[in-house]
């Protein structure tokens, strides 16, 4: 630790801290533009000048570049440094177009703030301003190069931190510009970070263009619900419409970064077909009427037919509170405990993470600081995009990343890819051939190893193998934590709440004793692997009740439908993949949007006491009404802690904070799973989520349409040759999910003996995480 | 005691004298509404949205007036024209709430919102005092006949990029000359 004096106040900071950061610790803001806590300093804006009176280097210095020294004396408000900063501010504004009224950054612009902070207020220069050409960077990012101050933050964000390759610094002298070589959509899955990191209005959110001012937005700390990573986000809305999402900050999870799926895929809650009214037998009814009817139906059925007659289904998308209240409802009704996920195998894998691996889970920050990471069965950009960024930081610091996965994994950095088929991957983890030895040696020599395990591909058995591998690698002086990748925002939470020995959905629906099913914020038809048989079984139910905020297939079939609120319209808790409790707060109240952008339109001139379409209620409140008696969320949480001691940190949890981890527990003893035998002449089927349009939320987010891909089958060229098919052919793929006729694409980096299909809006039937299965491929028959 | 007697007599008679003196003066009362009064030039009453000298809408819907408004009576929504011009899709001033302080006109960076001397805003229906853009937009420049925001600001909307008088032509970014 080093002690120094800044503006007559002493502060003690760790060695290596810069003077700027030390001043920030004292609450002194030294004006700065190119420095950002995630990106570090480059000293290109020259604005953070301070006077160093005592130290190795004295005089006027850039505080972002000078490391603190013992006994250093610094002033930030002396005449010379203030004068220099004002002059630098004036220089930076020489070519600025002064178009703040029409700039979307206005109000949250660091250049505005810093220009005022340095005291530059009147333009003296009378010469001409430089102008630059703009580029069309696609539907997500708008560029206005004239506003640029050449701080290089965009290039450092996009290229250095996120590893994008199609964006950079171009030109020389005062012609330096930042952009692509040619017009076109930015290819990186992290392009949206340019919006947050650009300190002026060069890169602004095109989906939010001319929509609202920062100061008019209702904002709250929330959690992204697109995948299991649980990044901190700050959604903002106005006029009852969610209008944008920006990245929040959570040092343990996402730092200050966000992927494009989370940033631009927020508009599922404003889908035009979002059901906002309660419905019973095709008739719109009041929510309370529907709730009462549903309760009396359930009671009557249980009285007549016993506790098996009613089946409750929770979800990995619903909050922890909703799932717990669903369990309470089951107790109240006297029926069997709810199934908390429509996807049994995924749920079991999440339970393996929540129970067996709980004492050695890594956080995403642990991944960023590791020196060797071995990834088993994860395609990070598809399953947990921020994990790809974390892994990139390992490589940037000189570490190594090895990915063992059948898919043609693409990552924004150099890594070693071992294309292993699912069976080979299980054998590698379970057995001990040469490849496994090479990996073990690599991990043993590492100072800070970390394992990444994909629950979808590995399943319970694979996760337990990874667990025992981690235990073998760990020594007394250094641990080997595991970062698990789970699919849903609350997969961990649902797994933690449910009982390990519970039956899965299809087992429970066997026979005819289930007469009524209540689905809470889930569509088992497309979120579980048994869509077809389940659809037939649902048709034989007497009552199907659905609570949801998306216009799903099962919602359309429901006898009773009750509208709920997406996470931005409710408060609650998720548990992310690493077992971290993440609180989200309500941003907006539900209701019909009053935002009109068409010419001449305006909000209605009639005024109502209640907002139209504000019937949807958060699921916990609806469930409490069913249980008879509404209490606050804090009271529910207190009761939850009594019931589940592992959630001890729940009541103190605050939105926007790092979030506590759930308490660890001892691993369970489970029998070994046997791997299936591969029938001759078949290929192993690999189902991967597509980067966009696989999770149900992004499927209903229409803003993501430009990023959607078409469906095809991927094969290794050798396999294609063996099966007599060529690239571009339409081929028939016979799988456990049915027959698909799709175009064929070849990939050199795909594991041999595998056929890969992506689960997306274009091909929703194959479901990832459904275990090892086999398929047959042939040239397209009838329509080939 | 006698002092008070004289004071009281004077206090009784003086008002009569004042009345008598004013009885033959010309009256100052204006017979409103039959007669209209000439108001000072800077009188602040009904707000208008003016146009620039080229006839375009001056308002860019930047929200600064609504941010400055102490009673929150201004609301709007910005939108984009085909040429990239930012303008108000709708603009609403609730004159039942407006206190005619004029802070919006001071905040306006484009001289779009201006005050007029028209104070006759009384009515029986409050909704008639909620003015939409069509009620606010006028066909003149108001008190400034020369200012056009888009000629001062360099992002290429009314003139092509780099064609405003205070700008150079856009850089050839692929030029490598020193």
Place of tokens 């405990």: A337
Closest chain B residue to A180, measured at CA: B173
Among A200, A35, A195, which residue's Cα sits nearest to residue A109?
A200
Q: Is B107 exposed, middle or buried (0-12, 13-18, 19+ CB in 10 A)?
A: middle
pLDDT tens for each residue of A446-464: 999 999 999 999 999 999 9
Closest chain B residue to A181, measured at CA: B174
Is there a domain that residue A644 lies in? no
Are A210 and A121 in contact by the 8 Å Cβ rule? The answer is no
> In the beta sheet, which residues pair with residue A290?
none
Q: What is the CATH number of the domain that holds A707?
A: 2.40.40.20
CATH number of B47-149: 3.30.70.3270
A500 and A472, same domain (yes or no):
no
Q: Chain A residues with CB inside 8 Å of B65's CB? A: none
Number of domains chain A contains: 5
Q: pLDDT exceeding 70 applies to what percent of chain A?
A: 99
A431 and A565, same domain (yes or no):
no
Task: Return d(Cα A197, Cα A157) in angstroms, integer.
Answer: 7
Q: What is the pLDDT of residue A783?
A: 47
Of A101, A170, A596, the CB nearest to B109: A101
Closest chain B residue to A602, measured at CA: B90
Is there a domain that residue A640 lies in? no
Residue A515: domain span: 287-341+494-594+610-620
pLDDT band with cut points at 50, 70 and 90 for residue B175: confident
pLDDT tens for each residue of A312-365: 999 999 999 999 999 999 999 999 999 999 999 999 999 999 999 999 999 999
Q: What is the CATH number of the domain that holds A559?
A: 3.40.50.740
Q: Does B82 touch chain A (CB under 8 A)?
A: no
Is there a domain that residue A643 lies in? no
Place of tokens 């940190």: A649
Q: Is the dihedral of CA A601, A570, A551, A335 positive or negative?
A: negative
**Per the CB < 8 Å rule, is B154 touching A129?**
yes
Q: Does B97 touch chain A (CB under 8 A)?
A: no
Q: What are phi and psi of A463, to 5 degrees?
A: -65, -35
Q: What is the pLDDT of residue A438?
A: 81
Stretch 9-28 of chain B: residues touching chain A, C-beta under 8 Å:
none
Are A564 and A621 in contact by the 8 Å Cβ rule? The answer is no
pLDDT tens for each residue of A692-748: 999 999 999 999 999 999 999 999 999 999 999 999 999 999 999 999 999 999 999
Place of tokens 């340019």: A194
Q: What is the pLDDT of residue A711?
A: 93
A623: its two tokens:
């469930």
Q: What is the CATH number of the domain that holds A437?
A: 3.40.228.10
A228 and A147, same domain (yes or no):
yes
Task: Tell me the CA distances in angstroms from A626 to A311, A344, A481, A498, A562, one per residue in order.
Answer: 15, 27, 42, 21, 12
pLDDT band with cut points at 50, 70 and 90 for residue B123: confident
The per-residue pLDDT of chain A, averaged, comes to: 93
Query: A498 pLDDT exceeds 80?
Result: yes
pLDDT tens for each residue of A5-28: 999 999 999 999 999 999 999 999
Q: Is the dihedral of CA A233, A234, A240, A243 positive or negative?
A: negative
Residue at a domain's end among A240, A270, A300: A270
Distance of residue B178 Cα from the nearest chain A Cα, in angstroms = 7
A500: its two tokens:
């390990």
Report chain A's terminal Cα–Cα distance, integer Å.
Answer: 71
pLDDT tens for each residue of B44-58: 999 999 999 999 999
pLDDT tens for each residue of A105-143: 999 999 999 999 999 989 999 999 999 999 999 999 999
Least confident of A513-517, A740-744, B23-27, B96-100: B23-27
Largest CA distance in chain B: 105
Are A233 and A245 in contact by the 8 Å Cβ rule? The answer is yes
A474 and A498, same domain (yes or no):
no
Q: Chain B residues with CB inside 8 Å of A132's CB? A: 170-171, 173
Least confident of A84-93, A412-421, A666-675, A728-737: A666-675
Are A311 and A509 in contact by the 8 Å Cβ rule? The answer is yes
Of B75, B89, B155, the CB nearest to A146: B155
Q: Chain A residues with CB inside 8 Å of B156's CB? A: 131
Cα A564 to chain centroid, rounded: 21
Q: Does B161 touch chain A (CB under 8 A)?
A: yes
State the angle between helix axes of A320-333 and A287-305 in degrees (0 to 180), rounded to the nearest 10: 50
A215 and A143, same domain (yes or no):
yes
State the angle between helix axes of A320-333 and A619-627 in degrees (0 to 180), rounded to the nearest 10: 20
A17 and A131, same domain (yes or no):
no
Among A3, A19, A123, A153, which residue's Cα sits nearest to residue A81?
A19
Of A100, A172, A212, the CB nearest to B176: A172
Are A449 and A374 in contact by the 8 Å Cβ rule? The answer is yes
The per-residue pLDDT of chain B, averaged, comes to: 92
Q: What is the pLDDT of residue A547?
A: 97
pLDDT band with cut points at 50, 70 and 90 for residue A435: low
Are A247 and A222 in contact by the 8 Å Cβ rule? The answer is no
**Does the predicted model carry a pTM greater than 0.95?**
no
Query: A602 pLDDT exceeds 50?
Result: yes
A506 and A471, same domain (yes or no):
no
pLDDT tens for each residue of A499-514: 877 778 999 998 889 9
Among A779, A782, A781, A784, which residue's Cα sits nearest to residue A722?
A779
A258 and A291, same domain (yes or no):
no
Question: Going by C-beta distance under 8 Å and a sequence separation of 6 or more, which residues neighbour residue A262?
Answer: A224, A226, A227, A231, A233, A245, A385
Q: Is the dihedral of CA A244, A249, A250, A254 positive or negative?
A: positive
Range B144-157 burial, b when 16+ CB lie within 10 A, else e = eeebbbbbebbbbb
Q: Chain B residues with CB inside 8 Å of A177's CB? A: 171, 173
Of B64, B172, B175, the CB nearest to A101: B64
Distance of residue B52 Cα from the nearest chain A Cα, in angstroms = 16
Query: A784 pLDDT exceeds 50?
Result: no
pLDDT band with cut points at 50, 70 and 90 for residue A172: confident
**Per the CB < 8 Å rule, is A131 touching B162?**
yes
Interface test with B, best of A95, A96, A99 (most B CBs within 10 A): A99
Question: Going by C-beta distance under 8 Å and a sequence separation of 6 or more, which residues neighbour residue B177?
Answer: none
């Amino acid at each position: 630790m080093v002690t120094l004096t800044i503006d007559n106040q002493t502060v003690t900071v760790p060695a290596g801290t810069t003077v700027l950061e030390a001043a920030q610790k004292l609450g002194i803001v030294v004006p700065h533009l190119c420095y950002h806590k995630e990106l570090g300093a480059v000293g290109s804006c020259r604005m953070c000048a301070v006077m160093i009176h005592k130290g190795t280097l004295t005089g006027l210095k850039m505080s972002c570049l000078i490391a603190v020294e013992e006994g250093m004396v610094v002033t930030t408000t002396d005449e010379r440094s203030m004068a220099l900063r004002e002059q630098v501010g004036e220089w930076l504004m020489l070519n600025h177009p002064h178009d703040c009224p029409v700039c979307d950054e206005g109000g949250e612009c660091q250049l505005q703030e810093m220009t005022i902070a340095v005291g530059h207020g009147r333009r003296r220069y009378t010469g001409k301003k430089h102008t630059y050409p703009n580029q069309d960077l696609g539907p997500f990012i708008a560029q206005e190069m004239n506003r640029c101050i050449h701080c290089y933050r965009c290039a450092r964000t996009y290229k250095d931190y996120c590893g994008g390759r199609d964006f950079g610094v171009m030109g020389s002298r005062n012609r330096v510009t930042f952009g692509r070589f040619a017009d076109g959509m930015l290819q990186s899955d992290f392009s949206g970070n340019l919006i947050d990191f650009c300190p002026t209005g060069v890169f602004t959110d095109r989906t939010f263009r001319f929509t609202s001012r920062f100061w008019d937005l209702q904002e709250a700390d929330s959690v992204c619900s697109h995948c299991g990573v649980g990044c901190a986000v700050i959604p903002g809305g106005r006029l009852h419409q969610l209008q944008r999402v920006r990245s929040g900050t959570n040092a343990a999870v996402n730092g200050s970064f966000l992927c494009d799926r989370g940033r631009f895929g927020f508009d599922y809650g404003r889908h035009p077909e979002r059901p906002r009214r309660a419905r019973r037998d095709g008739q719109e009814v009041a929510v309370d009427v529907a709730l009462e009817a549903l309760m009396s139906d359930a009671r009557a059925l249980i009285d007549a037919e016993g506790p098996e007659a009613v089946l409750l289904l929770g979800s990995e998308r619903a909050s922890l509170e909703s799932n717990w209240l669903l369990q309470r409802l089951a107790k109240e009704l006297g029926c069997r405990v709810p199934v908390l996920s429509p996807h049994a195998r995924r749920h079991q894998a999440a339970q393996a993470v929540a129970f067996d691996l709980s004492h050695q889970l890594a956080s995403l920050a642990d991944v960023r600081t590791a020196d060797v990471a071995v990834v088993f069965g994860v395609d990070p950009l598809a399953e947990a995009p921020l994990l790809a960024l974390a892994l990139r930081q390992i490589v940037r610091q000189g570490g190594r990343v090895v990915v063992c996965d059948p898919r043609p994994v693409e990552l924004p950095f150099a890594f070693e890819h071992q294309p292993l088929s699912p069976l080979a991957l299980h054998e590698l983890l379970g057995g001990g051939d040469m490849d496994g030895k090479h990996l073990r040696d690599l991990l043993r020599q590492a100072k800070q190893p970390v394992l990444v395990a994909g629950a979808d591909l590995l399943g319970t058995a694979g996760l337990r193998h990874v667990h025992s591998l981690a235990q073998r690698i760990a020594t007394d002086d250094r641990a080997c934590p595991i970062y698990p990748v789970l699919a849903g925002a609350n997969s961990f939470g649902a797994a933690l709440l449910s009982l390990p020995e519970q039956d899965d959905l299809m087992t429970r629906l066997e026979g005819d004793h289930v007469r009524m099913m209540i689905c809470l914020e889930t569509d088992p038809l497309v979120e579980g692997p048994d869509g077809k048989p389940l659809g037939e079984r649902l048709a034989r139910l007497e009552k199907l009740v659905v609570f949801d905020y998306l216009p799903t297939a099962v919602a359309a079939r429901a006898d009773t439908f009750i509208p709920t609120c997406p996470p931005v319209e409710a408060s609650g808790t998720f548990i992310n993949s690493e077992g971290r409790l993440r609180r989200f707060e309500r941003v907006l109240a539900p209701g019909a949007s009053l935002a009109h952008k068409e010419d001449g339109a305006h909000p209605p001139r009639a005024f109502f006491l209640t907002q139209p379409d504000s019937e949807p209620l958060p699921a916990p409140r609806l469930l409490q009404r069913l249980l008879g008696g509404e209490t606050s969320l804090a009271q529910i949480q207190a009761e939850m802690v009594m019931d589940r001691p592992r959630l001890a940190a729940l009541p103190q949890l605050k939105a926007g904070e790092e979030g506590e981890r759930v308490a660890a527990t001892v691993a369970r003893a489970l029998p070994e799973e046997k791997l299936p035998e591969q029938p001759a002449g078949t290929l192993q089927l690999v189902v991967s989520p597509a980067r966009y349009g696989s999770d149900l939320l992004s499927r209903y987010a229409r803003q993501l349409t430009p990023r959607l891909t078409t469906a095809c089958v991927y094969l290794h060229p050798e396999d294609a040759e063996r099966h007599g098919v060529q690239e571009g052919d339409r081929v028939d793929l016979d799988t456990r999910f049915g027959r698909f006729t799709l175009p064929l694409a070849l990939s050199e980096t795909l594991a041999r003996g595998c056929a890969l299909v992506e689960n997306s809006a274009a091909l929703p039937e194959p479901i990832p995480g459904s275990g090892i299965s086999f398929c047959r491929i042939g040239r397209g028959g009838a329509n080939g | 005691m006698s002092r008070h007697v004289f004071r009281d007599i004077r206090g009784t008679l003086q008002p009569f004298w004042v009345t008598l003196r004013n009885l033959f003066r010309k009256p100052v009362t204006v017979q409103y509404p039959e007669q209209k009064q000439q108001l000072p030039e800077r009188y602040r009453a009904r707000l208008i949205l003016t146009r620039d000298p080229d006839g375009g809408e001056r308002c860019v819907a930047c929200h600064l007036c609504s941010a400055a408004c102490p009673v929150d009576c201004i609301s709007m929504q910005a939108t984009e024209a085909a040429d990239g011009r930012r303008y108000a899709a709708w603009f609403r001033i609730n004159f039942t709430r407006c206190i005619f302080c004029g802070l919006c006109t001071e905040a306006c960076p484009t001289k779009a919102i201006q005050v007029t001397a028209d104070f006759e805003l009384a009515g029986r229906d409050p909704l008639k005092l909620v003015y939409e853009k069509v009620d606010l937009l006028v066909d003149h420049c108001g008190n400034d006949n020369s200012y056009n925001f888009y000629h001062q600001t360099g992002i290429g909307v009314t003139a092509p990029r780099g064609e405003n008088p205070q700008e150079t032509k856009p850089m050839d970014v692929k030029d490598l000359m020193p």
